[in-house]
Amino acid sequence: MTYSETIDYLYAQLPVFHRVGAKAIKPGLGNILQFCAYLGNPHEQFKSIHVGGTNGKGSSSHMLAAVLQSAGYKTGLYTSPHLKSFTERIRIDGLPVPEEEVGSFVMKHRAFIEDLKPSFFEVTVALAFDYFARQKVDIAVIEVGLGGRLDSTNIITPLVSLITNIGWDHSDILGDSLSKIAYEKAGIIKPGVPVVISERDPETEDVFQQKAEEGESPILFASDGVFTISDLGVSASGRRVLVNNRDGMESPLPLHIGLLGSYQLKNVAGVLTVLDALKNYFVISQIAIETGLAGVVELTGLKGRWQILQQNPTVICDTAHNEPGLRSVLESLQSVPHRKLHLVVGFVKDKDLSKVIRLFPIDAAYYFCQPDIPRALEASHLAEDFRALGYSGTVIEDVNQALQAALQQAEPEDCILVTGSTYVVAELNQL
C-alpha cells in the first residue's frame, strides 16, 4: 500500500472530523487505551508536555518544540489538523514523519484497526505515540485535538500541562457556556502535575482552580506576571518583545518572536512559564529560548498563523476560525498600514456566525469562498449571512480564485486577509 493509498484508505474507512464534523468523534478514551495497550503503551515511554485551549495551542506547541529542539533535545511534536500533508501532524525535530512510516503502520495494524473501528484521529494519535516511542524522543509536545477531558491525547501523563485560553468554539460538543467549555479543557490537568494557564479569565479561573486543587496540581496563571511581556512592535521577520520580572533577571530581556500576530504576546507568556516549570527536568539556556522563539517557523514548519504571503499588496493568511481567534486577528490588522482592506473568507457549517460576523469591518471588500470539504458552509449562504447585516461582497467559491479576484482589485498599498477556517488557508496555492 503506497502512502497515497494509505491516506485514501484512512479517509474512506474511518470517520474524519474535518470532513464530517461531530459525528466523527467517538466519545471516551476506550478506543485509544485499547489501541495503545495493543501497541505496548508507547505513550508511557517518553516524556511529554500537553497543550490545550481554544486558541493559541498550536502556536504555543510549536514554540515549545522549537525551544526544546534548540536546547539540543530530540523533540516530538504532535498537532492537528494538517494544512497540506497528513505527515505535518507528526514531527521530530521539525521533520514530518516519513510517508513510508505512515504506510507501514497502517499495513502492519490494519486488521486490528478494522476490528476496533477507531476514528481517524484515534489512529493518528496512536501512530504518533508509537513513532515517538520507537524513535526514542527526549520529549514530545502533544497538542489536544478537541476539548481535553475526552480527547484521545489525554491518556498521557505529562511533565506539565498548558491551557492557553478559553473561548467560544465547538459549543455544540463542549458545552453552551464558557465554564462548561473550561471544564472539558481542564480535563488535561493531571494529579500532581503542574498546569500553566496562559490567560486568567474570571468566568473560567474557578474551574481550573478547583480541578487543580482536587488533584493537588500546582497551578500558575502566566498572565499574573511570572513573565510580563511588553510589545516592541514588528519587523519583517517577526515580533519583538521585552520580558520583565523573570527570576534572577537583572534587566529586561529582549526577545524576537518569529510569529507576527499581536495575539502571540499572550501565548509567549504561557510558553515561557512552561519552560520555567521544566527546569528540574531539562537544561534550557537563554540562548536556546532566544533561538527557538526567533526560528519557530523554520525549526518546526509552522504555517498559517499570521503568515505573510506577499507584499504590494500585503497578503496575510491566518487559520483563525472562531470568535476569540478572529477578534485577535482583526485587532492585529490595525498594526498593518494599508489603504483598503480585502477579506477572503470562508467557514465550515458548524460555526455560530452570529457572534463572528459583526467583528468584521463593514467597509472592507469581501470575497466569499468555501473549502473543498463536505463540512464547508456554502459561499452563497455565507454571503447571505453577511449581507443580512449590511455587508457586501462577491461570491467566488474556489479559495484560490477568490484570492486572485482580490489581487486583481487591490492596489499595491492595500491589504488582503484570507481567514475563517483552517481548511480555507490549507487550500491556498501560495502557502
> What's the average model confidence in pLDDT over 394-417?
97
> What's the average model confidence in pLDDT over 371-378?
91
Supply φ then ψ for residue 24, to 5 degrees: -80, -15
How high is the pLDDT of residue 20? 43
Strands 307-310 and 393-395: unpaired
Q: Which tens digits make up the pLDDT trace of 80-137?
A: 989 999 999 999 999 999 999 999 999 999 999 999 999 889 999 999 999 999 999 9
pTM: 0.89
Percent of the chain with pLDDT over 70: 91
What are the residues whose beta carbons fall under 8 Å from the beta carbon of 200, sequence distance 6 or more? 221, 223, 224
At which residue does the C-alpha cell 486577509 appear? 417
How high is the pLDDT of residue 21? 44
Q: Helices in 364-421 by DSSP H: which ranges?
A: 379-387, 399-409
How high is the pLDDT of residue 196? 96
Beta bridge partners of 142: 50, 78
Q: Which tens digits make up the pLDDT trace of 333-345?
A: 887 889 999 999 9
Band the pLDDT of 199: cuts 50, 70, 90. Answer: confident
Question: If you count them, how many residues does the chain have?
Answer: 431
At which residue does the C-alpha cell 484515534 appear? 122
Band the pLDDT of 148: cuts 50, 70, 90. Answer: confident
At which residue does the C-alpha cell 468584521 appear? 360
> What's the average model confidence in pLDDT over 254-258?
85
Domains of the chain: 3-300 (3.40.1190.10), 307-426 (3.90.190.20)
246, pLDDT greater than 80: no
Q: Which amino acid is at 186?
A: A
Q: Helices in 250-306 by DSSP H: which ranges?
A: 264-277, 286-294, 296-300
- The sign of the CA dihedral 239, 55, 135, 106 is negative
- Helix 264-277 and helix 286-294: axis angle, to 10°? 150
* C-alpha cell recorded at residue 39: 501497541
Band the pLDDT of 417: cuts 50, 70, 90. Answer: very high
Given 3-state DSSP classes, what are the helix, strand and coil percentages for the chain, each rounded to the nearest 5? Answer: 45, 20, 40
CB 217 within 8 A of CB 191: yes
The mean of the pLDDT values for the chain is 89
How high is the pLDDT of residue 90? 98
Among 42-56, 258-272, 350-364, where is mean pLDDT lowest? 258-272
d(CA 292, CA 69): 7
